[in-house]
A and B are shown apart, each in its own frame.
Chain A
Amino acid sequence: NAGVTQTPKFRILKIGQSMTLQCAQDMNHNYMYWYRQDPGMGLKLIYYSVGAGITDKGEVPNGYNVSRSTTEDFPLRLELAAPSQTSVYFCASSHGRTNTGELFFGEGSRLTVL
Chain B
Amino acid sequence: DAKTTQPPSMDCAEGRAANLPCNHSTISGNEYVYWYRQIHSQGPQYIIHGLKNNETNEMASLIITEDRKSSTLILPHATLRDTAVYYCIVRVVGWNTDKLIFGTGTRLQVFP
User: Which residues of A line the B interface, CB within 8 A?
Assistant: 4, 31, 33, 35, 41-45, 48, 50, 54, 56, 58-59, 88, 90, 92, 94, 96-97, 100-103, 105-108
Residues of B69-112 contacting chain A, CB below 8 A? 85, 87, 91, 93, 96-105
Kindly identify which residue among B43, B46, B104 contacts A102, using a CB–CB cutoff of 8 Å: B46
Q: Are A97 and B98 in contact (CB under 8 A)?
A: yes
Instruction: State the Cβ distance, B103 to closest chain A Cβ, in Å.
Output: 6
- CB-defined contacts of B93 to chain A, threshold 8 Å: 97
Nearest Cβ on chain A to B67's Cβ, whole angstroms: 22
Q: By the criterion CB–CB under 8 Å, are A101 and B41 in contact?
A: no
Interface magnitude class on chain B: 20 to 34
15 further contact pairs, Cβ within 8 A, besides A96-B98, A103-B44: A35-B102, A42-B87, A42-B104, A43-B87, A43-B102, A45-B99, A54-B96, A58-B99, A88-B41, A90-B43, A90-B44, A101-B49, A101-B100, A105-B44, A107-B43
Interchain CB contact under 8 A, B46 and A103: yes
- A101-B98 contact, Cβ under 8 Å, with A92-B43, A108-B41: yes
Q: B99 contacts A48, CB within 8 Å?
A: yes
| A49 vs B104: C-alpha distance when bound (angstroms) | 23
Q: Is B96 a contact partner of A50 (Cβ separation < 8 A)? A: yes
Provide a sorted-by-A list of 11 A–B residue pairs whose CB atoms are within 8 angstroms: A33-B99, A42-B85, A43-B44, A43-B87, A59-B101, A90-B44, A101-B34, A101-B49, A101-B100, A102-B46, A106-B43
